[in-house]
Chain A
């Protein structure tokens, strides 16, 4: 167990809708990264937050956005869902100064 939890475990949305995925971690894990993992592929980096500010971003459009809160939880928001957004979404947190990521179990999103 990594101490990183994600909710919901899975959900189904329709094209054009919006979704919010949540991640919680342990005290001191002040860096959180979000990844998209499509079937048969490795995780793709979406963005990273550090101390509630976006620290860097991968090749994802602006309709993917995030928030990080002082209580070490974070959100991934996706607007205007597309069929290709169907994937497993992972969050990974880092303890300050450790540079080692601890992954949550993921949220499996299906867009119809």
Chain B
């Protein structure tokens, strides 16, 4: 069965610090990978996605993620966070061509101004 593990439940950073949120998944086949963000009081929205090709994908608001197939990982990064990045971040995986998206438990990021 597929599963997604996010390494940190809570992260606190100061503005301008670098961010890396860990995500590992378990599934033996080809996958589509996603990072979603939920800002306070807002909908879940897509930050970035990986389907195929260049394993380094860039998303909105300066976020990027790298797919490392050998490590079953899809870590999210941002070189310099802002106070407005305070939100909850979810990693998700779906088998290519499948119907079911599996989400991690989420990482709550708080950025201090």
B57-113 residues at the A interface, CB under 8 angstroms: 90, 92, 94, 98-106
Interchain Cβ contacts within 8 Å, total number: 50
Binds B, one of A19-27, A38-46, A61-69, A73-81: A38-46
Min CB distance B89 to A, Å, is: 10
Residues of B within 8 Å of A1, CB to CB, are 43
Whole-angstrom CA separation of A56 from B46 in the bound complex: 22
Min CB distance A88 to B, Å, is: 10
Interface residues on A, range: 20 to 34
> Helix, strand, loop or mixed for chain B's interface?
strand
Whole-angstrom CA separation of A85 from B35 in the bound complex: 26
Whole-angstrom CA separation of A56 from B100 in the bound complex: 7
User: Which A residues contact B (CB, under 8 angstroms)?
Assistant: 1-2, 4, 33, 35, 40-45, 48, 50, 55-56, 58, 90, 92, 99-101, 103-106
Do residues A42 and B101 form an inter-chain contact, with CB atoms below 8 A?
Answer: no
